[in-house]
Structure 1
Amino acid sequence: MILNERETDEGLLVAVCDDDVLGETFEDDGVSLTVTEEFYGGDEADEQTVVDSLARASVANLVGTEAVELAIREGFVDEANVLEIETTRHAQFLRM
């Protein structure tokens, strides 16, 4: 997975995507999602590093089956709130 962290005025923003979706665009039922290098590009990360990052995140954006499944399994995202866009999955969370 690829992990990108940035500090914002609202807290830590974490973006995670599967390696194979970076640079791809997914479209389905009028929804379009482009996984840009600018937003999602970062460092290769193993599962534990991603989990640690999500635990500190105020906001997170996740794209890809592996990234979203990890977030579900670790309790960050409810499966009912996951979007299926073409051949990938997308989820976001906001910690208040």
Structure 2
Amino acid sequence: MGSSGEPMVYMKVMEVHGEKIVAICDEELLGKKFVEGELVLHINEEFYRGQLVPLSYAMQRAWEATILNLVGENTVNAAIKEGLIHPDAVIRIAGVPHAQAVRMLY
């Protein structure tokens, strides 16, 4: 938790082939791997470790993304509240919520 009691998240912003990819995960999930049957969710440090920021700041930056990759209760719930992700787009692997979104910008 940040000084204001707000959850902290790891956020990485990447520009790849004209896309702006924003990856956000709950702080405590970084580097962990979750397995459920055939499904594996690896919160890879190389992909997710960027800045450790307050959740509200990460949600502001998420609006800039053409591709969003989100993991964790705090992150996914905030994205749903913001209207970035539809609740039906969330999958859970070993209980951990994960969502991806692609936005077409014209």
- What range is the shorter-chain TM-score in? over 0.9
**Secondary structure, in 3 states, of the residue corresponding to 1:57?**
coil
**Distance in 2 separating the partners of 1:42 and 1:50:** 11
**Distance in 2 separating the partners of 1:67 and 1:48:** 9
Tell me if structure 2 keeps the 8 A contact 1:10–1:58.
no
Corresponding position: 1:77 with 2:88: no
TM-score, normalised with respect to structure 2: 0.86
Residue in structure 1 matched with residue 49 of structure 2 by the alignment? 41
Residue in structure 1 matched with residue 12 of structure 2 by the alignment? 4
Count of residues in correspondence between the two structures = 96
Residue in structure 1 matched with residue 29 of structure 2 by the alignment? 21
Residue in structure 1 matched with residue 69 of structure 2 by the alignment? 61
After superposition, the CA RMSD in angstroms is 1.0
Segments of structure 1 that go 5 or more residues without pairing to the other structure are none
One-letter code aligned to 1:32: V
Segments of structure 2 that go 5 or more residues without pairing to the other structure are 1-8
Find the partner of 1:95 among 100, 103, 106.
103
Residue in structure 2 matched with residue 86 of structure 1 by the alignment? 94
1:51 CA displacement: 1.5
Moved runs in structure 1, 4+ residues, more than 3 A? none
Residue in structure 1 matched with residue 5 of structure 2 by the alignment? none
TM-score, normalised with respect to structure 1: 0.94
